[in-house]
Homo-oligomer: A and B are copies of this chain.
Amino acid sequence: MCEAAAGFMTEYYEGLRARRVMPEVSSAELRGLVVEPLPRGGMEFDALLGVVRDVIVQNSRHNGHPRFFGYVASPGTAVSAVGEMLTATLNANVTSWRSSPAAAEIERVVVQWLKEMLGYPESALGLFVSGGSMANFSALAAARAAKGPADVSQAGMGASGRRMRVYVSEETHYSSRKAAGLLGIGEANVVVVRTDGRGRMDVEDLQRVVRLDEEAGALPLCVVGSAGTVSTGAFDPLAEIGEVARAHNLWFHVDGAYGGFAALAPSARGLFRGIEAADSVTLDPHKWAYLPTGVGCVLYRDGMWARKAFAHDADYTRVMGQGQDESFAFWDYGPELSRRFRALGLWLLLKHVGAEALGAAIEQNMACARYVERLVGGSDDLEMLAPVGLSVFCFRYAPPGYSGDLDELNERVLVELQRDGSSYLSNARVGGRFALRGCVLNYRTTERDMEVMVEDVRRVGRGLAGEA
């Protein structure tokens, strides 16, 4: 079983570059291949692996393909894939120290490394969650506990009296807004702060809207800074936001889901100035640490507030007969009880390749994005729509003399490019314009891939512009 699966893995990675990024298939076609009643009997693993190979893998988008530039997607690595098998074999359930002594300590060590990477206080507490959305949710829950007017976990948000307000920028990831809705703060109490010409939060505007809320009797609760926005890779001025937060008693959360690991890249290190003052930080190892989907991380400057948001007592979670270090429970600091041993994958990767190699790969990703800027700058049918931020590039196809609607043309280019299968971009709206957007997040990607991608856009674009 293992051998066959290992063979599949080798074959998959070796053949990745030759695959179409996106399959050509409809939901109805796929259903025809996989729908069946609950199987009563079993089947041999080898036959099953054949179905995985021929049906599932064949009809998947390949996020590890060197020209998959959509969204913020990790490529995965072989050591992580093997690591997942080790994780599932051991099957630790990292609810608490006593449930998984070694896994709990490894999680602490890896969290310590992440703090070291960011220059974040050693006394901070952190834990792994399923991804950035849950990390932002957890941070906002801690903010609500720290800055709310009452014990809202107990009494409910109806008892709080004042409207709590959360400040994000136009470019902040929507998961913070979603968290505000779920936590009963209300999406309508998420205040959108303006951005400057480079997509960064405008700190003067932040100050203005916070003051307005104070005057109106609302309760300014939390500001979310982005360490790399999804649309353009913009990096908010963290130190300045932190000062406003301190002056107005706001919880300061930094969403570094995309950009956090850029702290390992010497050229990006300076952007992180001020993060050490954040009350909480979101990191996503399943983004720029290249880990497979399912690993996010939240850091709390002072774990006490997370404890206030999440802790509980029940007989079956009571810890008996152990010292203080051994009575630590992760469920007191996050939304989950059962938890996968998510730290093992990052531990394996950092031990196997080391932080310097990871930082170098991140530098290379950023260089690839800047190379697109040069390719576009040297052409007469493409134009950049935003400066490259971290490893994100935004541009559009704009052939000379084209009289149609460029937004409409580029939306068609995007859909057609995705169907074409050689390169995959996603979209963003930049300054009101529809952008072809890519994010380089794969250690396999080379400058040659960037050339191919630009040529793919041009080829697809020419076909569509000619039609119009």
User: Is A35's CB under 8 angstroms from B131's CB?
Assistant: no
User: Is A64's CB under 8 angstroms from B91's CB?
Assistant: yes
Contacts of A292 in B (CB 8 A): 87-88, 91, 340
Q: Is A208's CB within 8 Å of the partner chain B? A: no
Mask of A68-107 contacts with B, CB within 8 angstroms, 1/0: 0001011110111111111111111110011111110110
A3 to B284, CA, bound (A): 29
Contacts of A85 in B (CB 8 A): 5-6, 9, 81-82, 84-85
A177 to B293, CA, bound (A): 29
Q: Which of A86, A112, A163, A314 has the most CB of B within 10 A?
A: A86
Chain A: interface residue total (CB-CB under 8 A): 159
Q: Is A320's CB within 8 Å of the partner chain B? A: yes
Closest chain B residue, CB of each to CB of A78? B1
Stretch from A153-161, A199-207, A241-249, A381-389 forming part of the interface with B = A153-161
User: Is A336's CB under 8 angstroms from B91's CB?
Assistant: no
Contacts of A58 in B (CB 8 A): 102
Closest chain B residue, CB of each to CB of A359? B40
Contacts of A113 in B (CB 8 A): 37-39
For window 213-238 of A, CB contacts with B under 8 Å fall at 230-231
User: Is A185's CB under 8 angstroms from B184's CB?
Assistant: yes
Mask of A11-28 contacts with B, CB within 8 angstroms, 1/0: 011000000000101111
Q: Is A182's CB within 8 Å of the partner chain B? A: yes
A418 to B183, CA, bound (A): 38
User: Is B101's CB under 8 angstroms from A335's CB?
Assistant: no
Mask of A149-186 contacts with B, CB within 8 angstroms, 1/0: 00011111111111110000000001101100111111
Q: Is A448's CB within 8 Å of the partner chain B? A: no
Contacts of A25 in B (CB 8 A): 101
Contacts of A57 in B (CB 8 A): 90, 102
Contacts of A174 in B (CB 8 A): 312, 314, 317
User: Is B428's CB under 8 angstroms from A338's CB?
Assistant: no
Mask of A303-345 contacts with B, CB within 8 angstroms, 1/0: 0000001101011111011010110100000011111110010
User: Can you report 8 A-B residue pairs in the complex whose CB atoms are below 8 A from each other?
Assistant: A27-B325, A41-B357, A42-B351, A49-B86, A64-B91, A76-B91, A154-B188, A174-B317
